[in-house]
Structure 1
Amino acid sequence: MPILSLRNVSKNFGALKVTDDVTFDLDAGQALGIIGPNGAGKSTLFNLITGNIRPNAGQVFLDGVDVTQQSPMDRCRSGVGRSFQIPQPFGHLSVYENLLVAARFGAQLSAAEAEARCMEILRQTGLAASAGKPSGGLSLLSRKRLELARAMATNPRVILLDEIAGGLTEGECGELVDTIKGIHASGTAIIWIEHVLHALTRVVEKLLVLNFGRVLMIGTPAEVMASDQVREIYLGAEA
């Protein structure tokens, strides 16, 4: 059984249809990349998965359970974690304290469990040396790492990454990709929206292409990037 399933999910804001009849499955431990031009409905799709907005039609299933009407907090506690495109940590708290908030309230861990989990995540995400630093003063790469770490602290089975590599240098992007690969190798399923394609294709097994809110195709990175439609619509190149 897939860990996450969307069935005929649609969302419109007035006359504007942003997500149109989207259906796909995510298997446990799988990494799926989502690409598409600006305005294709990618971030709206994440908001539908996390419960920040409700669909006008269709259903969202987690482990076969219909969670379409569940709140974002309930979905978080059921195993859906998320990073945001623009990191927004609690700037007055330290890196470690940011993780404790996620572990205590998102994962509902006891104090001892939360402390142990946060120490493990700090090491896994390369933030151990910055644990006591105020998060508001971190570099962009460290803020991106913290955004990823906070999502992990909720004990997710699925992590949604929203353009987490954006704005990084080539070297910084490579470091972050290595961290994400390690998290994926530990068995966590990932859905990753990204415009930095070389980063995305180092991690994901499949790509989903969105265009005007509809699924254009799903396939391996090689299959998708070889598609004339994808090159024409997403890359802006004539087939």
Structure 2
Amino acid sequence: MRRTWKPAMAVVTAAMAATASMGTVLAAETDDVRPLAAGDAAAAAVAANAADHDDPADHSWNTADVVPITLSGSTASSTSPDVSISGGSVTVTGAGTYQLTGSLTNGQVVVNTTESGIVRLILNGATIANSTSSAINVVDADEVMVFLNAGTTNRLTDATTYVYPDPSVDEPNAALFSAADLTVAGTGSLTVTGNAYDGIASKDGLVIASGTVTVTAVDEGVRGKDYLVVNGGSTRGAAG
């Protein structure tokens, strides 16, 4: 769900093992940080800030509706009209559930849709590397979930130096970047290498619901602008 509000404080819950060898692995920022009021007002503020976009209903779907996307080195393939492919660039243009399998040696998965509803990217043994930008770039969406399939190992690696189409542009700026609310879930594993900026970053809310996530990044490992909520799984990393 796309949100325009800014919470009064960032919320980070640690129901998982989060360790860092250096720097900041987990970070949250807001545009409006205010002290909590006393008494009932404080309790209400805490309750409001504890809310996030993650809905249990988003964690299940009809397997018949899953759209396969096969990653094959320098290109990819899919039969869906909601998936456009140009070389190693794969763009998802509709809400729905998409399963990515295989490897892109120099490519990117882009989500860019104005349709209402969640976009699920199921990583099913997917490896995506990019030499000029992020590995996954969510430009626009109502909400995005990156789901790690059970028993799979998945890897995202971005560029050491980003090439932007315009000097005034500074996004994306993470190996896994989202301009929308982002959830990471599933029981598989995800290794993220942020060679230039952050590892995982959302300009809205970011929820890590489950999964084994390992992040190495030059800047922050995991960043949520509106909030960062960790409900489960295991996240480890090193950040500069």
Higher RCO (CA < 8 A, seq sep 6+) = 1
Which one has a larger percent strand, Structure 1 or Structure 2? 2
Q: Give the TM-score taking structure 2 as reference length.
A: 0.30
Which structure has the highest helix share of the two?
A: 1
Structure 1 length as normaliser, TM-score? 0.30
